Amino acid sequence: MMSDGVTELIEASGIAPQNGERRRGIDRVIMLLEALLRHRAPMRVGDIARMIGAPRSTTYEIVNSLLEAEMLENVGTEGYVYFGRAMHLFGWAYSHHNAHYRRILETLDRMAAETGETVQLCGLRGNKYVVLDCRDSPGPFRISSDVGVEVSIPWTASGRLLVGHMSEEEIKNFIPAGDYKLPDGRVIAPEEFFADVALARRQGFSETAALADRFTWCMAAPIHDGHGAINKTLCFVLPVDTPEVRRGELLSLLRERARGLSLVGG
Amino acid sequence: MMSDGVTELIEASGIAPQNGERRRGIDRVIMLLEALLRHRAPMRVGDIARMIGAPRSTTYEIVNSLLEAEMLENVGTEGYVYFGRAMHLFGWAYSHHNAHYRRILETLDRMAAETGETVQLCGLRGNKYVVLDCRDSPGPFRISSDVGVEVSIPWTASGRLLVGHMSEEEIKNFIPAGDYKLPDGRVIAPEEFFADVALARRQGFSETAALADRFTWCMAAPIHDGHGAINKTLCFVLPVDTPEVRRGELLSLLRERARGLSLVGG
DNA sequence: CACTTTTGTCCGGTATTTCAGACATCATGT
DNA sequence: ACATGATGTCTGAAATACCGGACAAAAGTG
């Protein structure tokens, strides 16, 4: 028996498990790490092999190399591996190397402390939306999405800002057609989405209520990079029944802080 | 001229730049990332090549692959590269991965796959409740609590089961007085909580509606260890508006699976 | 301006690495 | 007990990824 519900993911991943194809170790490594990220839990070598469409023997070899480098580590009694300490160091180095990003993270901390709400930093990864970092509200149960998980752009408030620089035509080519379908089955008409994008661009912020799920009110404000483009967004994830007055206050704060983080063009 | 004071580091690194040796791409990648980490600043491809003792052509190839995977990214006007966003995501995954995976994983996976709901494995850690593991329902935003975060026992359904073996007196000594106060300010009367505990023990399960927050219906069933004690629970976290019929089905499934995982006496 | 160093890209050959398959051991389930 | 499937390790062989080297263009130096 396969130890997991992994088979669906193999097919979903779209990686053609073409037979007889030989691939480079580097590419295997990249595929492996991304598979691990999507799965979000330790995996066994056999399952990894299936997931990335690599021979078992090759996968063992690669995993052992990465284990030795501490990019992966064993977890649990046997067989399971997950990201290792080295990854943490690399990631930490990434997020602290540039002053702008550090400033953003500090703002994130401050906003979370001041408001007690869930705050996120969002961006694009390919043609998907991802949460780059977040500070969750202190309650025991929270409404949030995991850092690094790819989500369809039309499901999010931030997504409406992040494609703001594109024409309708460009957006149409950029976002996969299936991404307009919400998790609950509803479908967003592309025209409606384009209108949202235009509105977000005019307003300088974007809000969605009970869109990707029934419980959240999301508001996002753009962080402009040096060239005036929108690279990242700052975002509150609120309970949908948050009073309007408070929403207004939070929106003001959000826009102010996002403006403060934007770089004015060279 | 070498663009940096890198030469010293090459020697300091201890990597023998043996000539004529051929190395695998994977090993090059590992050396490259570690070199970047040691250097703690963006580097140019030429310097990287010298630093890891690799041919320039090879280094370009590798760097380009890693750039495409966003494990590296270009920084500055030209030529410099440093860790990329993917590294941040991998590192985040590492540091948010708390120990206790592994044991009841399969059941957790299967239940999540079968029902599409959020399933958790819960236990005690000192006099607090913790989520030991969870499988979240699909969908981008979810209602959940972080694995490993300590929560007051009276706020949870599982908590009512986990203290089931104690007398009222023991419970009173065990749970800090402040823990009866909910996040929204309401206070649970200790007597009411004791009654809940007794009910949970008689029923063999426990449910709470909109307790720790306004959006969740929690149901928990006990996993008995070899001595008949309850030290873990299986738990569904549902939207509070889940229809009663479905709740009934899920509760049955939950109790059945929890019973299946319980160990019958030594 | 002449001179040197570096950058980024391309190419063909071969030393290597990936791959397929086999095998002994464990687990799991019937 | 038997059948099935997964794990971890090896091996030989062939496809190819890496290497060395060459080149034009750019950038620094005197």
> Rounded distance, CA A113 to CA A118, Å?
10
Those residues whose beta carbons lie under 7 A from strand C are A 1, 19-25, 28, 54-58, 61; B 1-3, 21-26, 44-47, 56-57, 60, 64, 78-79
Asked if residue B17 has pLDDT above 50, the reply is no
A223 Cα to chain B: minimum distance (Å): 17
> Rounded distance, CA B19 to CA B97, Å?
41
Asked if residue B84 has pLDDT above 70, the reply is yes
B155 in contact with chain A, both atoms CB, cutoff 8 A: yes
Q: What is the per-residue pLDDT for B106?
A: 66
Q: What is the per-residue pLDDT for A39?
A: 87
Which chain B residues in 94-123 lie under 8 Å from chain A, judged by CB atoms?
94-97, 99, 101-102, 105-106, 109-110, 112-113
- What is the residue type of A106? E
Q: What is the per-residue pLDDT for B239?
A: 87
The CATH number assigned to the domain with range A7-84 reads 1.10.10.10
A220 Cα to chain B: minimum distance (Å): 15
**Among A45-54, A120-129, B72-81, the least confident range:** B72-81
Which chain B residues in 216-255 lie under 8 Å from chain A, judged by CB atoms?
216, 237, 239, 241
Asked if residue B104 has pLDDT above 70, the reply is no
More confident residue, A16 or A254: A254
Asked if residue B122 has pLDDT above 90, the reply is no
A180 in contact with chain B, both atoms CB, cutoff 8 A: no
Which residue reads 């997020």 in tokens? Answer: A95
Asked if residue B75 has pLDDT above 90, the reply is no
Work out the pLDDT band at A262, boundaries 50, 70, 90.
confident
More confident residue, B183 or B65: B65
Name the phi and psi angles at B121, rounded to 5.
Answer: -110, 125
Tell me which chain A residues have a C-beta less than 8 angstroms from the C-beta of B97: 41-42, 75, 82-83
Give, in words, the CATH class of B98-261.
Answer: alpha beta
Asked if residue B162 has pLDDT above 90, the reply is yes
Q: What region, left, alpha or beta, does residue A142 occupy, with left being phi > 0 and alpha being psi -120 to 50 degrees?
A: beta
Q: What is the per-residue pLDDT for B164?
A: 92
More confident residue, A105 or A131: A131
CA of A1 to C1' of C28 (A): 8
Q: What is the per-residue pLDDT for B20?
A: 54
Residue B179 tokens read as 């823990």
pLDDT > 90 in chain A, percent: 52
For chain B, the structural domain boundaries read 7-93, 98-261
The CATH number assigned to the domain with range B7-93 reads 1.10.10.10
**Among A197-201, B64-68, B229-233, the least confident range:** B229-233
Asked if residue B159 has pLDDT above 80, the reply is yes
Digit-coded pLDDT (tens) for A188-210? 999 999 999 999 999 999 999 98
A33 in contact with chain B, both atoms CB, cutoff 8 A: yes
Work out the pLDDT band at A138, boundaries 50, 70, 90.
low
Asked if residue B7 has pLDDT above 80, the reply is no
A158 in contact with chain B, both atoms CB, cutoff 8 A: no
B64 touches strand D (CB under 7 A): no
More confident residue, B150 or A109: A109
- Pick the closest to residue B164 from B134, B131, B124 (CA basis): B124
Q: What is the per-residue pLDDT for B261?
A: 77
> How much is the mean pLDDT over chain B?
81
Average of per-residue pLDDT across A99-120: 85
> Rounded distance, CA A135 to CA B110, Å?
30
A22 in contact with chain B, both atoms CB, cutoff 8 A: no
DSSP per position, B34-87: HHHHHHTS-EEHHHHHHHHT--HHHHHHHHHHHHHTTSEEE-SSSSEEEE-HHH
Digit-coded pLDDT (tens) for A139-159? 655 666 677 888 999 999 999
Q: What is the per-residue pLDDT for B221?
A: 95
More confident residue, A140 or A93: A93
